[in-house]
Structure 1
Amino acid sequence: MELANTEKQLSKELTSFLKDTAAYEHISIPNEIDYSDFLKSKIFLVFAIRSGLPYSIFNLIQRQSPFSLHDWSGFLNISYKSLQRYKAEKTRFKPLYTEKIFGMAEVLDTGVEVFGDLEKLKLWLTTENYSLGSLKPIELLRDSYGKDLVLAELTRIDHGILV
């Protein structure tokens, strides 16, 4: 139940954030943007990345993930202390970090669609995978090429293509 409420709140905050951002970019934003639809819209992602993500939205993404702030600091390649500073100062993440946050959000969203459950996804992410060079998928999420490999593997699983 809490996950559904978090996703509703996330959709609401993303819609508001994009409406503020879009005013400068001269694009129209629907009255409500579903979180999954947002992650699938490359143009919305581009505008959000350029603007920098507010910590409040990151916090909602982090809360609905199976990962701690320490895990996230590793994915973002940012110190835990710096991550805490973003929270305390209520500043926006730099575009580089925003892009990484959305990359992880995309993996999590796709993974939940494929496995139907956050716990099953976490188990898959933390288990060695022959198709990924016997690495754990979670080990590949620190950079964009690794993230792309993980997303491609999730797509293959979704289509029943097991290598």
Structure 2
Amino acid sequence: MKTIEKSVVEKLDHEITHVVKTGVVRKSAGATVKISHSDFFKDKLMMIKVIREGVPYSLFTIIQAYTPFTDKDWSNFLDISTKSLLRYKQSTKNFKPIHSEKIIEMAEVTNIGLDVFGSMEKFKLWLETPNFSLGNIKPMDLLRDSYGKELVISELTRINYGILV
């Protein structure tokens, strides 16, 4: 199981700041504000802007390192082959908005999961365990579509507030 290194979080914060700065410049008192990944996930308008511009591969690789998902999982989420995923690496093109949205959604789920469980190992175990509140379906199996992702986020929120069904 994967643990999140401090350097991965720092790289994620740096890359999000760079991606947002090159698209939507945020300034405060004449200086560009550094944007943390937590701040990014709280600002839906900023997320929409990044999705519409397309996630660059540089941000995707850091998000990949930040999340508990394998290449096969990513291929499944994005509904593209692993070879197509590698082609983005060789290309200078950003991901299409439909793929960018899924990338941001999975990073958002991971961010919430880490907040709730405190470790990647516990979050990954929860994702792989059938959940009574989710119809005895593994949360991981629901992440492929937006409605499933919303169910997973709702369940994580209930766990966070101690509302167990």
- TM bucket (normalised to shorter chain) is over 0.9
Question: Which residue of 128, 153, 156 corresponds with 1:154?
Answer: 156
The number of residue pairs the alignment matches comes to 160
CA distance in 2, matches of 1:161, 1:114: 13
Divergent runs of 4+, >2 A: 27-30
CA distance in 2, matches of 1:95, 1:19: 18
Which segment is superposed worse, 51-60 or 64-73? Answer: 64-73
Residue 81 of structure 2: aligned partner: 79
CA distance in 2, matches of 1:66, 1:60: 12
Is the Cα contact below 8 Å between 1:22 and 1:28 reproduced in 2?
no
Q: How does 1:1-163 map to 2 (within 5 A)?
A: 3-22=5-24, 28=27, 30-163=32-165
Structure 2 alignment gaps of length 5 or more? none
CA distance in 2, matches of 1:69, 1:13: 20
- The letter for the 2-side match of 1:98 is S
Q: Taking structure 1 as the reference length, what is the TM-score of the superposition?
A: 0.93
Structure 1 alignment gaps of length 5 or more? none
Residue 90 of structure 1: CA displacement?
3.1
% identical aligned pairs:
50
Larger relative contact order (Cα-Cα within 8 Å, sequence gap ≥ 6): 2
